[in-house]
Structure 1
Amino acid sequence: MDTPHATRQQHISDANQLLQQFEQTGCNNEHLLLLRACLEYLPDEGKYNLANDLSHATRPTDLEAIAENLESALLLPLKARTRTPSGTPSPGREWDDEAPSTLSPDVKSEQATIKEKCLERDGHRCVISGIFERSWAIEHLPEESWQNHSSETVLAHIIPFCFGNSNSKNESKNSEIWEAMHHYFPSVPASAQLNAENINKPSNCMTLYKLLRDEFDKFTLYLEPTALQDVDNKYRVKTTKTVDFVARSLLPESGFVTLTAHSAAELPHPELLKCHAAVAKILYASGRGEKIEEILQELVSIQCVAEDGSTDLSSLVAVSLAAG
C-alpha cells in the first residue's frame, strides 16, 4: 500500500532535522551539502527513499556512507560517463571520430538509425537553438538560410547511452547504477519505461547542436518542466553559472522551448528530462558538479582516458574526491 503524502513529507522533514543534528557533531560538510541537495531536488519518491535510508543512521559514518554510495552509484556515473561519447554522426557522414571503438558494427548502425529518426522528429534541427542540421539544410533550404543558420548536429542521450548493455564490460557497473536509479528516480524505469535493454530509443534522445550537447552532458544546461509541460511539452531552458558563454548565446531569448514531433517518433520523455534537471540542480547546489568537472578535465589533460572509451572515469573521479 502506498504511503500517504503527509507521512512522506514528515519523513523527509525528519531527515532534514537529522542532518542538522549531525552537523553539530562535525560530520563531513560536503556530505551534508550533498544530502541536503538531494532531499531538496530528488523527486518525491526518491526523497522518501533517501529519508528512509537516513532514518537508520546513528553515527556520522553511517551518514557519510549513504552520501558516498549515492555519489558513487549514481551521480558520478551520470556526470563522468557522459565522457564516453555515444558516437552519432550526421546522416551521410563517416562515423563520428568520438565514437568508442569498442562499439560493435550493429550498435553503430543502430545509433545512426536513431539519429536519423530523431532528426526527422525534431524537424532536422537542434531542439534548443533551432540550428538546422547542415546536410539536410543544404538540400532543402535557400542558400542564405543554410549558410547562416545550419551546422552539424549530434544525438544527445538524456540518460547516458553507456548505461545500456551494448558493452558487456559495463554490465556489472550498470547493474549498480540501475539499482540506484530505481531507488532515487523510480519514475525512470516505471513511467518512462527505460532500462539497460532499451536505452537507445527516441524517448531518451534529442537532437542538439554539439556545443549544447556538451553542456547538456555536463549538467550545466538542462530543461526544466513548466506547468504547461504536460499539455504542450513546454520547458524552461536553464543553465548554471559555469555554462560556456557561446552556448549561452545560442539559447532562445524567451527562455523556453516547446518540443514538437514532426514524425511519429516519441518525444523525449518528461520523466527523463525531470531526472536530468534534478541531477543538474543537485550537482550545482552541492558544489560537487564543479569539483567533479575539474577532476575530469585534469584526467583528460594528463591523458588518463583511453581512446576506446573503456576508462572507468567514475571510479577515477571517486578516488580523486576521496583523496581530497
Structure 2
Amino acid sequence: MSLETAKAKVEAYQDMGAAGDRTKRILQALMLYAPTELGRQNMIMDVNSCDDDVQLKALADRYLTGLIIPFKTMGGRTPAVSDHPTAPDADNAEQKNQGALQVVHREGKLKDRVLQRDNYRCVITGVRDPILAHNPSERAKRDPPFLHTIAAHIVPFSFAPKSESAAKIVQSSKIFEAISRFGGYPFIDELGGNINRLENVFTLTGDMHTLFGNLEMWLEPVEGNTNTYRIGCVPHFASALPYGPLITTYIHGLESAPA
C-alpha cells in the first residue's frame, strides 16, 4: 500500500478521547522525517498495517516511548517502551538485539580518547577545551575561546543496559528496534553492541550538548563528502552556531574542526 493510503488513514484517525492526543502528528512526522528511504517505507508499512484507530494509537505510542522520549530524556527516567501493535518481525529484531547488547558503564578514559581525536575542540563551534591552555602557543591565541567540553554520545548512553537485569535488556532492545526501524539502519550492528564505541562519541560544549540532546540541533550527512555534515537547528537557535552550516569530522584521525 502507498504513502497516499497511509496519509489518508492517519488523516481519518479520530482522537481517542485523551487530552492532547498526538497520534496523528506523530505518525505524520514519522512518515515525513524518517532519514532514509527504507525508514520511510518502514513507517508507511507500519501505518498501513494498522486496522483501526486503536492500533494507530498503539503505533504512535510505540515510537513515542521507544524513539522520541528516549532521545529527549537527557539521562533521566524513560517510560517502558510499548509493544509494536502489528509487526511480528519487531519481536524477532528485539530478540536479536538482546543477544547483541553489552552491559556498559561509564569509561573513565573515554573523554581523553575523544578529546585527542577531536583535537581538543568542540566539533560544532571549534571552542577549545581548557586542556589546551597548558600549551603556550594555544594560550597566545585569542580565538576561539576556552570552555569545558563533554564527551557526548550520539546514540545516547542511556539506551544501553546498565545491568544484566532482564527488564533493562528488554527495554534497550525495544529502543534499538524502534530507532533502527525508523532510521532504516541497523544501529546496534554498527555499534557492535557497545554504546561507548569511539565513533558514537564526539566533543561538545555544554550548551551544544543541551541543544543536541533536546533535538534542537542535529547533523545531516552531506552526500559525497566523507565525514562532512550540515548543521541543522530550530530557527531560534541559529545564532548559537557561529561557524556556518558545515562541519567536517575525522573519525579515525586526531582533528575535528568546523569547515
**Where does residue 204 of structure 2 map in the other structure?**
208
Offset of 1:158 from its aligned partner?
A: 0.6
- Within-5 A mapping of 1:69-218: 69-83=62-76, 107-108=105-106, 110=107, 112-139=108-135, 141-145=137-141, 149-169=145-165, 170-189=168-187, 193-194=190-191, 197-218=193-214
Match of 2:225 among 231, 235, 252: 231
Q: Which amino acid aligns with 1:11?
A: S
**Structure 1 residues 70, 147: closer, same or farther in 2, change over 3 A?**
closer
**Where does residue 4 of structure 2 map in the other structure?**
13
**Where does residue 30 of structure 1 map in the other structure?**
22
**Where does residue 240 of structure 1 map in the other structure?**
234
Conserved in 2, the CA contact under 8 Å of 1:154 and 1:207?
yes
Conserved in 2, the CA contact under 8 Å of 1:224 and 1:235?
yes
Conserved in 1, the CA contact under 8 Å of 2:149 and 2:203?
yes
| SS of structure 1 residue aligned to 2:125 | coil
Deviations along 1:7-50, one digit per CA (max 9) or x if unpaired, are: xxx63332113223x14x55676211110110001122222222
- Within-5 A mapping of 1:294-309: none
Structure-2-length-normalised TM-score: 0.75
**Where does residue 45 of structure 1 map in the other structure?**
38
RMSD: 2.8
Conserved in 2, the CA contact under 8 Å of 1:82 and 1:217?
no
Conserved in 2, the CA contact under 8 Å of 1:134 and 1:150?
yes
CA distance in 1, matches of 2:142, 2:128: 7
Q: Which amino acid aligns with 1:48?
A: Q
Offset of 1:147 from its aligned partner?
A: 8.2
**Which is helix-richer, 1 or 2?**
1
**Where does residue 245 of structure 2 map in the other structure?**
255
Structure-1-length-normalised TM-score: 0.61
CA distance in 2, matches of 1:117, 1:193: 19
Offset of 1:139 from its aligned partner?
A: 2.6
Question: Percent sequence identity over matched residues?
Answer: 24
Structure 2: segments with no counterpart, 5+ residues: 78-103
